[in-house]
Structure 1
């Protein structure tokens, strides 16, 4: 019984000791580099001193190794021949001499342990080893490639691991450098949201025939960063189909509260706003369609804005994108009719007609979803001629089959870009050539 008690007590004692074992902890002051700037240089870049808080008692002959990310150290990097850790009250100091180094590592060996004043028996537990390079040099390409880390390891004179037990909030690896873009991201606060008026022959927007958007570019705080570039100007682009507009002839206009000069490329369907050397953080862009004899048919569409900054760094030049953002849409105040149910099978024939009582031809576009929840954007399936009745069932079926739907039930949303009062839609289906089912759609009109 006594033997069992003693063994248990010994095991508990060992467990308690192991449970309190801790690892050394590295501390670095990573240098942040501009991604744009450091990518333009070839000379070696610096890094700060590396501190390592010991959590073990070191003795003469013990070794400490610093391992840098492969290929990060420049050939001009120089480490000191010796590291001195001063003794303080209650803790011993030590000296570490440079033992050897490779392309990616440097190893120091403890050459002496010294006491503070007249103290005796103190250890180095809790001492901080500070490695301050004589010449700190990292390859510029390595810095530009991302974070560069260093890892500290240590061993006794006999090759056993030292100072490496796991410990909460302790790490033996730390970053020497960080690389970040010095430019922010574009966002849109107020979107384009004009409605194209069919009553105006689709040549005018609501709200006084003018529409505006506001975009902003976030700015990054770069205090203390290295290799910063100089921002030399801004260019923004707005994806927009402004067919028929000619800004050089005042056929439509695009305004910029920040002084940007607008040009429109119809082949690219893109507006370019050039701000020269101005660094733009926000702008209100206003689109005013042409009027009178210069008026053109406006197109329902989605808009997207992008921007970039031009910069220089020494003799190098470059351009940095700040991304893209949705900039709104133009919609049509046309007829939108939901046909809630339409079956498809070998023995079923679909019947759908669009009646256009207006004076303008109109595109007929269809979206659908089936009973399994699959969506189908069929696009424009037909053109409803002014003053005619247009059968669209065959075109709808062909478009559905092209997207993999052949049998089942769908709900259809039919959009006709003509005034709602001029459009009527009839929907039905025929089973086996005998039984016809009429589908009540969402359209309610007073004729």
Structure 2
């Protein structure tokens, strides 16, 4: 007869270890080596949530670090601080001829010829187990498969008094890893089966943008923002940045930050009206963190890049962005720049290292937008040509006179707006803007007929502007009203 026993499994940075009939994750903090070359059991603490007495949790693997390691990790039976391993403990003695089986899901056991599989008793000076005593209690390796390892118990050993260290390897780690253990005796095929999710794979890094939300002030002729401080020209809402941050702190295989590059999709040449490679007088565009990052504007390529100044493990804690201020010695900008509604975006490339390799996290990121507190009206469709008359009427019910700016997009596969600038100054009342708008578009596009979408921006309060849009077939005298938005 035999005594029914209890199993214990746990995950650790060096070893699993736990109380009877439990499986819990543990983290090795110190090692105790009693004899050179001998097995050693480390002192460990459970991976637990914050607070005393809370249930054990799975160890967190860095998804990025795991990929650098080739989705595999060594399970090392010899204790060493911050290595990953498994310890096993039975709750009572098993009869001679019994076996212990380990199963894995979410990964595979590494069955390659370079990996050793053993289940050895650990020396532990805190319990008085010497290296020689431990080695006499080692279990014998019987068989291996991608999902299973089997060991036979040694004769005459009280397994419940021993902590065993499993030496193996895990590969093809696809997600959460669960280890299951059970014993088989000469008369019972499966007893004391217990499982625990010993590891979970989580993203270590995330990209967090601080988005622009600047409101262009039409009352200032679109040369500043609604929140611009008059004395300095600074608008906090005009700026944007992005930071690579820690999403989950890993226990195992942490990747290390190296550098970040952010390439804007926006063309900042609007602030370089003379195309000399320098921003116009009264325009200040600088890196948000000028101490630790660099900002490069290329007038030829019309590209803007913010990057790490010095590569290192603090690179991901920086703000990569731009501070955009419109000042001229403390006064408002007096150059010819007119701010336009703009949506900002960029490409983030965050390089990190681990396992003597490097990889780059690449992502497109939205960085916010500038909007107007004036009137922006879109005419989504307008045909024009020799036989088509365009009618555009603008009603300004305010007492303010403001510039009318036009952007257009021809229906020829183009997906970006093109600006023709200011076409008129709109006074209070009704204004026929048909010829003003269409002549500017045809001259800029060098066409005489086609189909076009039009954006009309008026520097007066949006609630005071109404635009009527329609077109008429000159020969047939048919007309159609176009909805605006």
Instruction: Give yes or no for TM over 0.5.
Output: yes
How far did residue 381 of structure 1 move?
A: 13
The reply on whether 1:193 has 2:220 as its aligned counterpart is no
Deviation at 1:25, TM superposition (A): 3.8
- Relative to structure 1, the CA distance from residue 149 to residue 245 in structure 2 (aligned partners, 3 Å threshold; closer, same or farther) is same
Whether the 8 Å CA contact 1:82–1:98 is kept in 2: the answer is: no
Pairing partner for 1:286 from 309, 323, 328: 323
Q: Distance in 1 between matches of 2:286 and 2:316?
A: 15
The residue number in structure 2 matching 1:240 is 266
Does the residue aligned with 2:102 lie in a helix, a strand or coil? strand
TM-fit CA distance, 1:101: 1.2
Q: Does 1:49 align with 2:70?
A: no
Structure 2 unaligned regions, length at least 5:
1-19, 27-57, 76-83, 128-135, 380-389, 396-400, 410-414, 425-430, 438-450, 471-480
Q: What CA deviation, in whole Å up to 9, does each residue of 1:65-114 have, x standing for no partner?
A: 11244353553223046799x9xxxxxxx978426112433223445567
**Greater C-alpha radius of gyration:** 1
Instruction: Confirm or deny that 1:163 pairs with 2:181.
Output: no
Gaps of 5+ in 1: 1-22, 87-93, 116-123, 165-170, 340-350, 366-377, 393-397, 401-413, 429-437, 443-447
For the Cα contact (< 8 Å) 1:234–1:280, is it kept in 2?
yes
Separation of aligned partners in 2, 1:32 and 1:106: 23
TM-score by length of 1: 0.56
Asked whether 1:132 is paired with 2:161, we answer: no
Change (3 A) 1:72 1:255: same
Name the CA distance, whole Å, in 1 between partners of 2:162 and 2:63.
Answer: 31
Which residue of structure 2 aligns with residue 218 of structure 1?
245
C-alpha distance in 2, partners of 1:111/1:70?
26
| Structure 1 residues 80 and 275: CA distance shift in structure 2, 3 A | closer
| Residue 275 (1) aligns with residue 308 (2) | yes
Match of 1:76 in 2: 115
> Hey, what does 1:142 align to over in structure 2?
172
Whole-angstrom distance in 2 between the partners of 1:59 and 1:316: 48
Displacement after TM superposition at 1:300 (Å): 0.7
How many residues align structurally? 349
Q: Normalising by structure 2, what TM-score?
A: 0.53
Alignment correspondent of 1:65? 101
2:117 touches 2:141 (CA, 8 Å); kept in 1? no
Spell out, residue by residue over 1:208-260, the C-alpha distance to the aligned partner (whole angstroms, 9 max, x if none): 5543335544346858544643x333333444343433483233432224213
Partner of 1:329 in structure 2? 369
Alignment of 1:107 with 2:150, yes or no, is yes
Measured against aligned partners, the alpha-carbon deviations of 1:6-38 in whole angstroms (never above 9, x if no partner) come to xxxxxxxxxxxxxxxxx9543343665544445
Aligned to 1:240, the other structure's residue is in SS state coil
Q: SS at 2:322's partner residue?
A: strand
Distance 1:324 1:129 in 2: 53
The CA RMSD measured in Å over matched residues stands at: 5.5
Q: Paired residue for 2:24, among 22, 27, 31?
A: 27
After superposition, the Cα gap between the structure-2 partners of 1:205 and 1:295, relative to the gap in structure 1 and judged at 3 Å, is farther
